[in-house]
């Protein structure tokens, strides 16, 4: 069984940066494809970014391209989401997720991920 624990959320002003971390335990991170999703109140869970097990394939939702960067350190069993130039519309609970497979066509679907963390709150004031 894989456990995911997110950290790094908080309250920031528009234009600020945050780095979220996702610590993976139970099994080696290198076995998994990883994703970040977010969910704002009253909205569905939304794909943010994904990274393959090797780190060679990376995908982002258009809304965060050029501002966010996903990365992984398999030796530390940790995945990161660097968020720059934050906007009020980025405010949400951010979730880390893991999948046994890389779905090149549907990596953006929450249904493709087998394991989830509890989430970390990101609040952005204008």
**36-65 exposure pattern, b = at least 16 Cβ within 10 A, e = fewer:** bbbeeeeeebbbbbbbbbeeeeebbbeebe
User: Per-residue pLDDT tens for 38-95?
Assistant: 999 999 999 999 999 999 999 999 999 999 999 999 999 999 999 999 999 999 999 9
- Does the pLDDT of residue 102 top 90, yes or no? no
């Amino acid at each position: 069984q894989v456990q995911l624990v997110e950290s790094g959320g908080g309250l920031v002003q528009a234009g600020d940066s945050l780095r979220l971390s996702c610590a993976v335990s139970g099994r080696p991170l290198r076995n998994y494809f990883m994703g970040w999703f977010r969910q704002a109140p009253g909205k569905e869970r939304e794909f943010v970014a994904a990274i393959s097990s090797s780190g060679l394939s990376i995908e982002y939702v258009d809304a965060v391209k050029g501002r966010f960067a996903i990365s992984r350190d398999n030796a530390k069993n940790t995945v990161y989401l660097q968020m720059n130039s934050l906007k009020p519309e980025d405010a949400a609970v951010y979730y880390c997720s893991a999948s046994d497979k890389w779905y090149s066509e549907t990596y953006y679907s929450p249904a493709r991920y087998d394991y989830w963390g509890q989430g970390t709150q990101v609040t952005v004031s204008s």
